[in-house]
Amino acid sequence: MLETPDILMPTPGLSGGVGRASKHDSGPKHVTGEAVYVDDINEPLGTLHLAPGGATIAHGRITKMDLSKVRSAPGVVCVLTADDIPGVNDISPAHTHDEPVLPDGLVQFYGQPVFCVAAETREQARAAARLAVIDYDELPAILSIDEALAQQLYVAPPHVMRRGDATLALSRAPRRRAGRMHIGGQDHFYLEGQVSLVVPMEDGDVFIHCSTQHPSEVQHNIANVLGRPANAVTVEVRRMGGGFGGKETQAMQWAALAAIVAVKTGRPAKFRLDRDDDMIMTGKRHDFIVDYDVGFDDDGRICGLDLQYAANCGFSADLSAAIADRAMFHTDNAYYLGDVTVRSYRCKTNLVSNTAFRGFGGPQGMMAIERIIDEIALTIGADPLDVRIRNFYGKTDRNITPYHMVVEDNVLPELTNDIVKSSDYRQRRADIAAFNATSPVLKRGIAITPVKFGISFTTTFLNQAGALIHIYSDGSVHLNHGGTEMGQGLFVKVAQVVAEEFQIDLDLIKITATNTGKVPNTSATAASSGADMNGMAARNAAIILKNRLIDFAAGHYGVATDDVRFVPGRVQIGDVADIGFAELVKLAYLGRVSLSATGFYATPKIHYDRETASGRPFYYFAYGMACSEVMIDTLTGENKVTRVDILHDVGRSLNPAIDRGQIEGGFIQGMGWLASEELYWDDAGRLRTHAPSTYKIPACSDYPQDFRLALWSAGRNVEDSIHRSKAVGEPPLMLAISVHRAIADAIAAVGDHKIIPVLDTPATPEAILRAVSRVAAETAGGGR
Amino acid sequence: MTTAPRDDIRFLLGDEERRLRGIDPQMTVLNYLRLQERKCGTKEGCAEGDCGACTVVLGEADGKGGLHYRTVNACIQFLPTLDGKQVLTVEHLKSPDGSLHPVQQAMVDTHGSQCGFCTPGFVMSLYQMWLDGGTDDRGAINDALAGNLCRCTGYGPIIEAARKAGGIAASDPVEHHRRMAIADRLARLTSDKAMLAIEHPAGRFFTPKTADQLAQLLVTHPDATVLAGGTDVGLWVTKHLRRLDPVIYLGDVADLKTVAMVGDDLHIGAGATYSAAHDALGHLSPDLGELVRRIGSRQIRNAGTVGGNIANGSPIGDMPPALIALGARLVLRMGDVRREIPLQDFFIAYGKQDRAKGEFVEKVIVPKPANATQFRAYKISKRFDQDITAVLGAFAITLENGVVADLRVTFGGMAATPMRARQCEDALRGKPWNTANLEAARQALARDFTPMSDMRASKEYRTLVAQNLLTRLYFETTSPGVATRLVGAEAMAHA
């Protein structure tokens, strides 16, 4: 058993260790351009470059593919089609066998890669790829969720989650409201696009430098594609230029194609997608349609909910089943829903296959219930905050989720008290009402929304991690684990954990690239689990080594093991000796002690029965609250976030600077999803927003003028997580729902809060103006 | 032509001299840095000048013996445009002793990088701010960084880094000396003052130095692609994979860079960048200045030209509607023959302008609005900064005793070209400026245009917002107490 002491303050005298605002280990390399990304690696002599050839229809059969001009174009070395795949033509991550590397005749979305060119230069490859002549026999394309629902086209079977009798509860409810909400998707827009560099090795093996969050899956799937065992493929990831879920499964196809070229030609092969191709050919956050019927009492307390999600999964399953499940798991967000039925449909459409994106379905689930709460508040004429508080999970009763898990760690009442005070919400709400009464064009709005986010992969077996630590005879430490660094600061956090264990400075620890040859069978760096799991695995490896050193020292100096103590930079051996860490390591080496160890971690307590949709899928919950204030222009729908207050519970922070970065960055990314980022497909199924010129992520001026972020000082994980910290990668994204709700509040001001605004996401100027116009028209028409 | 053309591109890469011959003139500066020099700090994020990961700083003679620095997007600049300039990349900032530059240190200290991929671009934009003396003002920081996208941090720590990094005083003697020395080296490097005439199998590239040279080249090569800032043409190469032959670059034509008041008219040469013309346009009208602030980004405005925005004939260019509303005129030139036309007549149809082969836009003449005339320009887009316009409304209205004595209403994004709203104008001209006539004008506006739906906006939104912009104009000209702006200098600072 591990004893985990509370970490209140960083250990004095130690430059590393947990609880400290250590800088990102790559910071100095980022700012000088010295940090090496896959495309920056010195290319081995003779490296070939790949480019994809995309389909120009959304659905149909290829009747003829004339690639002769492609093959004869300058610099072209080889052209791949489905026929050239040596092993299994499938890269579906959940083994649904519905996602070919290159399709064998059937095109399933506009832009789907149907062939691929390798040439001496990237420009030659891109130019050649445009010379294909392809004839199709077009089939009807399903381009919307509603069409897929009507035809019952799914990538995975529908799923139901149920507690109590929602139908009965609804029929008895004093008040009832039904509605429908469209929730838009989101492109990851990692700044570094998809890229892989594959180097052929002896025996037909390959070494792959890949920008991926899931090196093990890339390894395993590429082994299948090549028709080789997993040990023929090594995948290495030093860092990604952003991931956000978009490099969990979406790196696979490009790595696979480059691997085939490398094996086929015996030359290194690089595949780096152009931004437009990247946005057209890789999956995004799922867009959803949510239909709901909610029953509540006169105080706005929910007594029953019947809610249906329909997720646009695109043409294949990818991770959609788990994503749609996570939406269901977050139907409640922070609220006790009474009797509830949640149904979920995983719709198959002729669009790119949607995939993981920070929050993994959770954001869509929460967005729906937060709008429902606001609609209840407007219906009964109450402050939405009060309706939220009335519906919060209880501590001892009203604390069972729709999936029958007891919420044991609820801190929302305390967080709410704190943020209502620190944000001065009540006074500001009154001030805003006064402002709106005298401002005919600009209207302000404010909203507080909570986040309760379940931590653990809901697919239980994924909750495992490994680490590898070597201590060299000079006392320097080589740290490796299965987690990948995509900017989130995982590497420095895990290094801090190891530094804490050994009581050594951070700069004695070399953080090394994730490599499937060092730590095998890893899970994706996803589900916010990176630091929780890899931190624990690394800590376990460090404890093994530390115990070996303690045993050695006790024997060497003739003291009890209890008398050997690691203190900052040194080891105290009773009153016999006080030596440096490196000195002890040297002695242990000479004493023939193994200085290398692996560590492993499997998250305890969790279990889930998907058949009955019940169990404890989550080890714990991460909580946060945000208060956002906005101003909208009722003539144009333009909008601006003017102030944001965030109070977030990261437990005992491993690194407050990194955690703040995750919270702030996640919030702004969520703001983009809910406001400016709009994916637009035309009637032919072509994505028309496939570059930053047309797809608008937040820019610098969108960062609110007044942004107040605090880590909740009382935070402490009740579970035995790594140093009682809490996962922080995904939860803050959903704090941005407060922005969307504040916009809706401003729109409601147009009708004096008597008309319920219908605002979907994203709340673009157009969507806002449409909602404003409806409220104005209904107000003129005499209200509801 | 007095000096024979030369065919080697000469520039300074940091402190090192480069003379390149036999290189594809349509190679981008970014590809040159990454593939030829193996300087991989500068990143490709989009290859269209929108994300800023490729930001580099260019230094060039300021015409006063000193050096002028500006940021540009290396991904859409062609290599010959570096001729006679210094290019600085993220690799050049660290001191020889290994210590970080103040802007780099500030970024590390504020935790301003997460994944780090956008960071080199931000560092170069921050470096430019530092060279300009630094600023604490959030608005100025926003403007300097609008062309750099970050997907990880949410910008907070980068804004803090910008404030923390400070800047170098213009009077700093060491810096002054350094710049003079670079200016001197650049002058010596191109002391022949020759234009580049590059003949390469991939295409020809000319960089005339005078308007006369340009005019003559265009007569000789009437089908040439005229390249100014490259913020549009660059994408023809990086995205459409077109090969252009020949290319005539007007960025080195000194006498096309004029920005000057001639009487009550502002003359803007076709080679003047938005940045160069920004202040002068802002002096004509604050709204014109605010509009320029929201065009592209700092990097784009440092390269793109007002003339190019007109000449490429885009229906969603921001300058044409505003300038048409102001009654601007265009000077076109072929050989030695010049003609002057009202700007509004230049745009004939989608993709078709009143420009003959071999003819080029030499300058645009913008009359100063009369004292009684109020000018407003409203740009509507999904994002305030660095976004392409969905609808742009420009209004020049002259009120006399509550009556609309005259007005010009021009819209972008509502038709295949920038266009006057004639029926709307007719509905108001000579009429009292009141809500009844406003409503009539709104109805007329809906008859003026049949906009289309696309990824930026639906036709319904475009029509409604165009009408509402007229209403905004009404509020702003009749009810000064009513707040109508969310951004810009006119926004409610107290809100």
**Chain B neighbours among A 437-476 (CB < 8 Å)?**
439-442, 444
Spans of chain B, pLDDT less than 70: 1-2, 492-495
Token pair 């002549």 in the structure block, residue: A133
Spatial separation of the C-alpha atoms in residues A1 and A629, rounded to whole Å: 47
Which residue in the list A192, A236, A248, A730 is annotated as catalytic? A730
The tens digit of pLDDT for each residue in A702-719 reads 999 999 999 999 999 999
The verdict on A776 touching B (C-beta cutoff 8 Å) is no
Per-residue tokens: A252: 């696979």
| Cα–Cα–Cα angle for B185, B190, B192, rounded to 5 degrees | 135
Domain boundaries, chain A: 27-35+464-602, 142-402
On the question of pLDDT at A418 being above 70, the answer is: yes
Q: What is the interface size between A and B, counted as CB pairs within 8 Å? A: 274
- Taking Cα atoms as reference points, which of A195, A193, A55 lies closest to residue A115? A55
A326 touches chain B (CB under 8 A): no
Given CB atoms, is A30 within the 8 Å cutoff of chain B?
A: yes
Structure-block tokens of residue A582: 């490196």
Q: Determine contact, residues B80/B196, Cβ cutoff 8 Å.
A: yes
Give contacts of A664 with chain B, Cβ < 8 Å: 153-154, 156-157
Instruction: Find the residue in A nearest to B36 (Cα).
Output: A42
Across chain A, mean pLDDT equals 96
* Predicted pLDDT of residue A146: 98
Residue of A nearest to B162 (CA): A700
Question: Which residues numbered 100-139 in A keep a CB inside 8 Å of some CB on B?
Answer: 123, 126-127, 130
Q: Which of A542, A524, A543 is nearest to A533 (CA)?
A: A524
pLDDT in tens, A612-628: 999 999 999 999 999 99
Please report, as a single letter, which amino acid is at residue A409: D
What length is written for chain A?
784
Residue B297, min C-alpha distance to chain A (Å): 11
> For residue B171, what pLDDT is reported?
85
On whether any CB of chain A is under 8 Å from the CB of B312, the answer is no
pLDDT tens for A476-501 read 999 999 999 999 999 999 999 999 99
Can you give the pLDDT at residue B494?
A: 35
Q: Look at A668 and B142 and tell me if their CB atoms are within 8 Å.
A: no
Interface of B with A in 133-162 (CB under 8 A): 138, 141-143, 145-146, 148-159
In the numeric block, the tokens 């799923």 are attached to A159
pLDDT at A454: 98
Neighbours of A554 (CB within 10 A): 17
Spatial separation of the C-alpha atoms in residues B227 and A699, rounded to whole Å: 28
Q: How far is C-alpha A329 from the geometric centre of its chain's CA atoms?
A: 16
> Are residues A32 and B116, on separate chains, in Cβ contact within 8 Å?
no
Q: What is the CATH code of the structural domain delimited by A142-402?
A: 3.30.365.10
Q: Is A413 on the interface with B (CB under 8 A)?
A: no
Name the residue facing B114 among A638, A665, A691 (closest C-beta). A665
Interface test with A, best of B26, B48, B114 (most A CBs within 10 A): B114
Sheet (strand B247-249) strand order: B197-200, B203-206, B247-249, B225-227
Q: Is A658 on the interface with B (CB under 8 A)?
A: yes
Do A696 and B383 count as a contact with CB atoms less than 8 A apart?
A: yes
Instruction: Measure CB to CB from residue B495 to each of A642, A691, A698 and give the nearest one.
Output: A642
Give the A window 662-701 contacts with B, CB below 8 Å. Answer: 664-669, 676, 678, 680, 688-689, 691-694, 696-701
Residue of B nearest to A767 (CA): B461
Look up residue B254 and give its two tokens. 């000194």
Mutation to test the A interface, candidates B36, B117, B135, B391, most A Cβ within 10 Å? B117
Residue A375 known to be catalytic: no
- In this prediction, residue A14 carries a pLDDT of 80
The pTM (predicted TM-score) of the whole model is 0.97
Q: Over the stretch A350-382, which tens digit does the pLDDT of each residue have? A: 999 999 999 999 999 999 999 999 999 999 999
Confidence of residue A9 (pLDDT cuts 50, 70, 90): low
Determine the pLDDT at residue B2.
60
How does strand A269-272 pair with strand A48-54? parallel
A-chain CB neighbours of B385 within 8 Å are 699-702
Tell if the CB–CB gap between B41 and A36 is shorter than 8 Å.
no
State whether A665 and B117 contact (CB < 8 Å). no
Distance of CA A614 to the CA centre of its chain: 24
From chain A, the residues in CB contact with B115 under 8 A are: 190-192, 239-243, 486-487
Instruction: Confirm or reject contact between A43 and chain B (CB < 8 A).
Output: no
Contacts of B145 in chain A (CB under 8 A): 700
Supply the pLDDT for residue B495: 35
Which chain A residue has its CA at the smallest distance from B118's CA? A191
- Cross-chain residue pair A661–B483, CB shorter than 8 Å: no
Is A471's pLDDT higher than 50?
Answer: yes
Interchain CB distance below 8 Å, B115 and A275: no
pLDDT tens for A590-604 read 999 999 999 999 999
Sign of the CA dihedral with A585 first, then A587, A590, and A591 last: negative
Mean pLDDT of A657-667: 98
Cβ <8 Å between A127 and B111: no
Q: Please choose, from the candidates A81, A79, A131, A130, the residue with its C-alpha nearest in 3D space to the C-alpha of residue A101.
A: A81
Chain B contact present for A28, CB below 8 A: yes
Q: Is the dihedral of CA B370, B373, B374, B377 positive or negative?
A: negative
For the domain made up of A27-35+464-602, the CATH class stated in words is alpha beta
Chain A contacts of B40, Cβ < 8 Å?
33, 36, 39-40
Domains and CATH numbers, chain B: 9-192 (3.10.20.30), 254-367 (3.30.465.10), 373-478 (3.30.390.50)
CA of A734: how far to CAs of A118, A486, A623, A674, B415, in Å?
Answer: 42, 20, 10, 10, 39
Distant-in-sequence, close-in-space partners of B396: CB < 8 Å, separation ≥ 6: B325, B326, B327, B369, B373, B374, B375, B406, B407, B408
Distance CA A358, CA A502 (A): 33
For residue B468, the chain A residues in CB contact (below 8 A) are 635-636, 769
Query: Between B152, B239, B380, which is nearest A636 by CB?
Result: B380
B126 in contact with A at a CB cutoff of 8 Å?
no
Nearest partner of A358 among A484, A181, A190, A155, judged by Cα: A190
Contact A699 B100 (CB under 8 A): no
A154 Cα distance to chain centroid:
24
Q: Is B382 near chain A, with CB under 8 Å?
A: yes
Q: Is A658 in Cβ contact with B486 (below 8 Å)?
A: no
Residues from chain B that touch A244, judged by Cβ atoms under 8 A, are: 151
Contact indicator for A776, A750 with CB cutoff of 8 Å = yes
